[in-house]
Structure 1
Amino acid sequence: MIRAVIIDDEKNNIENIVQLLQKHELPVTIVGSATDADDGVATIAATNPDLLFLDIQMPEKNGFDVLKALPHHQFEVIFVTAFDQYGIQAVKFSAIDYLLKPINPDELKVSIHKVEAKLNRKKENLQLENLMELIRDKDAKKDHKLALASTKEIRFVHTEEIIRCESSNAYTQFYLTDGKNIMVSKPIFEYEELLASYDFIRCHQSHLVNKKFIKSLVKEDSGYLLLNDNTRIPISRGKKENLLKALHTVKK
């Protein structure tokens, strides 16, 4: 049985999670709850849970403040939130589960099963540590790492190590500066959103490119991007205008 703590500033949200867990007979026992960050930190210290249901947006101190106040993160986290743009992006960057309010029972079940699997493997929660680095160093983008979950491992890659991404149906292949490739079971549009502020450009339905690795834009053969390693990346007609703007070129 998974021992869990719930931290949410609204009591009805805590009760809702408890009811959903009981109704769907999920293997979770609630060992404590709190309605503010300080009480939440104390509750975690007192109960040593396996899992934390954590609201991001709370008055005075938010969910990330709770995590910052803890010396160790020897538990899994499922964020439960309405919407917080940077918060959600940071969570996605670290491949950590989150649930949007109101909670979908099916999504809750999936999240709990993932937690079960992680606890059974008894691995250090590197995803949560990566999230905390993102929150602490929000503006130090060159140091940010993206969590890439393949079938064998979760690899944490600096964004500057990613040359390009290529779509393969519902999968995305990452090409790295060390010559290795990583296949991730998420569609490329999710990474387009996550990497947009890191100078990645979507030049084609199937391609997302790190701007720093572009050598030139070649106009012949319908146009393509030539990368530093001489890889040719096609340019789709619908994305050409935005591409030119991103490259600070003048359309002729």
Structure 2
Amino acid sequence: MITCIIVDDEPRNISILSKMIHLYCPQVHVAGSATNIADALGLIHEHSPQLLFLDIEMPRGNAFDLLKQIMPVNFEVIFVTAFDTYAVKAFRYNALDYLLKPVDIEELKQSIQKVSTRLGIQDINTRLDNLLQQVREKETSRIVLRTQQGAFFHTIADIILCEADGAYTRFEFVNGKSLLVTGNLKKYETALPARDFCRIHDTYLVNLNHIVRHHPGKSGYVEMINGRTVEISLRRKAEFLSRFRL
């Protein structure tokens, strides 16, 4: 029997997942549940679970804040999350299991099966360490953007897109602001992390994490989180689609 704890800030989500586990995963016992980090820490120390179902966003912190407090761990982790391009890529890269909300029964059963085969193999901390390192890089990485008014420091994850403007580049950010900086688009295509940014047009470099919709067509276009629509050039279409396996 695998002992597990469910951590999710929504009691309804906990109830649904508990019922699914009871009905379809009889080899798993739900020892408890928590809706915040503090209660989750208490349950982990009390029950010493073999498995943690962990929601990403929680009150006063997130899943990564919890893991930082208890590393090294001696249990497996299945992340439960709404769709997030960056997070899903990171989980896959580090061989960590995740479930997308709403949780699918077959995907739940497959994740449990994978966890069962991995229990006792002491590589979970290596995988979590790698994931947390990626999260730290995403949260803290900044770029210096130079304008005629001086140098500005911006968090890379907050950049929605970059737009070519001759010898200059216009940056748009999640806070709704924009900034015209010195240097052409090629300069910033090289400077920004390739795992997050994609040149989809001679004029545009977009942050893949801030795309909300892809519209197919001869070349197609994308909608960004701030409402901007950005055309995909025909010669760059295949590369863009490959990033999402579309």
Displacement of 1:77 in angstroms is 0.6
Cα 1:35–1:72, aligned 2, differ >3 Å: closer, same or farther?
same
- Cα offsets for 1:139-170 (capped at 9, x unmatched): 688xxxxxxxxxxxxxxxxxxxxxxxxxxxxx
How much has 1:200 moved relative to structure 2? 8.8
Query: What one-letter code is carried by the residue in structure 1 that aligns with 2:30?
Result: I
Percent of paired sites with the same residue = 40
1:38, distance to aligned residue in structure 2 (A): 1.4
Q: Return the offset for 1:53.
A: 0.1
The change in CA–CA distance for 1:32 and 1:24 in structure 2 (over 3 A counts) is same
Tell me which residue corresponds to 1:62. Answer: 62
Contact 1:56 1:87 in 2 (8 A): no
The answer for the alignment partner of 1:250 in structure 2 is: none
Matched to 1:91, the amino acid is F
**1-structure distance, mates of 2:196, 2:104:** 32
**Residues 113-152 of structure 1 correspond to what in structure 2 (within 5 A)?**
113-119=113-119, 121-125=120-124, 126-138=126-138
Secondary structure at the counterpart of residue 110 of structure 2: helix
> C-alpha distance in 2, partners of 1:99/1:241?
29
Within 5 Å, give how 1:109-188 maps onto structure 2: 109-119=109-119, 121-125=120-124, 126-138=126-138
Q: 1:51 corresponds to which residue?
A: 51
Q: 2:195 corresponds to which residue?
A: 197
Structure 1 contact 26–112 (Cα < 8 Å) conserved: no
In structure 1, C-alpha distance between the alignment counterparts of 2:196 and 2:8, rounded to whole Å: 32
Q: Any stretches of 5+ residues in structure 1 without a counterpart?
A: 142-194, 203-237, 244-252
Query: Match for 1:70: what amino acid?
Result: I
Give the distance between the partners of 1:242 and 1:99, measured in 2 at CA.
28
User: Do 2:77 and 2:97's aligned partners in 1 also have CA atoms closer than 8 Å?
Assistant: yes
Give the AA of the match of 2:123: E
1:225-240 counterparts in 2 under 5 A? Answer: 239=235
Q: In structure 1, how many angstroms separate the alpha carbons of the residues matched to 2:67 and 2:78?
A: 12
**Offset at residue 18 of structure 1 (A):** 1.1
CA distance in 2, matches of 1:241, 1:35: 42
Aligned partners of 1:198 and 1:9: how far apart in 2? 28
Report the Cα distance in structure 2 between the residues aligned to 1:97 and 1:25, rounded to whole angstroms.
16
Contact 1:82 1:100 in 2 (8 A): yes
2:29 corresponds to: 29
- Check if 1:105 corresponds to 2:100: no
Matched letter for residue 27 of structure 1: Q
SS in 1 for 2:70: coil
Shift of the alpha carbon at 1:89? 3.2
For 1:37 and 1:89, the matched residues in 2 are separated by 24
* Deviation of 1:13 (Å): 0.9
Q: How many residues align?
A: 155
Name the counterpart of 1:79: 79
SS of equivalent to 2:46: helix
1:242 & 1:29 partners in 2: Cα distance?
Answer: 46
Q: Aligned with 1:4: secondary structure?
A: strand
C-alpha distance in 1 between matches for 2:18 and 2:94: 26
| Residue in structure 1 matched with residue 13 of structure 2 by the alignment | 13
CA deviation after TM superposition for structure 1 residue 46, in Å = 1.7
Task: For 2:59, give the aligned amino acid.
Answer: P
Distance 1:241 1:32 in 2: 47
- Aligned residue type for 2:69: A
Over 3 Å counting, the alpha-carbon distance change for 1:242 and 1:12 in structure 2 is closer
Q: Separation in 2 of the partners of 1:139 and 1:80?
A: 20
Counterparts of 2:107 and 2:238 in 1: how far apart (Å)? 35
Match of 2:88? 88
